[in-house]
Amino acid sequence: MGRNLQSGERLRPVDLARRHGLSTQAVRNYEEAGILPAAGRTPHGYRTYTPLHARALRAFLALVPAHGHPTATSIMRAVNRGAADEALRLVDESHAQLLDDRRTLEAVERALRGLELTAASHPDTASHPDTASRSDTVSRSDTASGPDATFIGPLAEQLGIRPATLRTWERAGLVRPRRDPRTGYRVYDEADVRDARLAHQLRRGGYLLEQIAPLIAQVRAAGGLEPLEAALGDWRGRLSARGRAMLTGAAELDAYLRERG
63-102 residue pLDDT tens: 999 999 999 999 999 999 999 999 999 999 999 989 988 8
Bridge partner list, 48: 40
Measured CA distances, 131 to 7, 141, 177, 179, 239 (Å): 85, 13, 18, 17, 47
C-alpha to C-alpha distance for 208 and 74, rounded to whole angstroms? 31
145-202 residue pLDDT tens: 555 689 999 999 988 899 999 999 999 999 999 999 999 999 999 889 888 988 887 7
Nearest Cα residue to 158 out of 123, 206, 189: 123
Nearest Cα residue to 167 out of 148, 194, 185, 180: 185
Give the pLDDT band (50/70/90) at residue 8: low
Please name the amino acid found at residue 225.
L
Burial 67-98 (b: 16+ CB within 10 A, else e): beeebbbbbbbbbbeeeeeebbebbeebeeeb
Q: What would the mean pLDDT of 236-245 be, rounded to a whole number? A: 92
State the burial class of residue 252 (Cβ atoms within 10 Å of its Cβ: 0-12, 13-18, 19+).
Answer: buried
Residue 154 near residue 128, CB atoms below 8 Å: yes
